[in-house]
Amino acid sequence: MTLPGSSVYGSIKGAIEIYSRYLANELGERKIRVNALAPGAIETDFGGGRVRDNKEYNDMVANRTALGRVGLPDDIGKVVAFLCSDDAGWINGQRIEVSGGQSL
């Protein structure tokens, strides 16, 4: 998904994804795992809090999300905690989208 006025932001996200793959390969021999998390719209301060504070914007995003709502900080935190656990020990070099199915 591309949005007008977001070319630099989007490009940096792409760069982080590729950088994480290189790091995963380079650091793997030291048993360090590297993954990129790609969250959808989350109710935070990001973007001036527009997802959290603007009901109209929040509703618009929720209507474009398969699970019918925007994300909450805990939705992301739980995935981060999982990735840091031994249960995720075989996940490496991946881009993991955590968006509730936004813009499918």
Residues recognised as catalytic: 9
Q: Does residue 93 contact residue 26 with C-beta atoms inside 8 Å?
A: no
For residue 51, give the H/E element and its range: helix 50-53
Cα distance between residue 101 and residue 104, in whole Å: 6
Q: Give the contacts of 95 (CB within 8 A, at least 6 positions apart).
A: 17, 20, 35, 36, 38
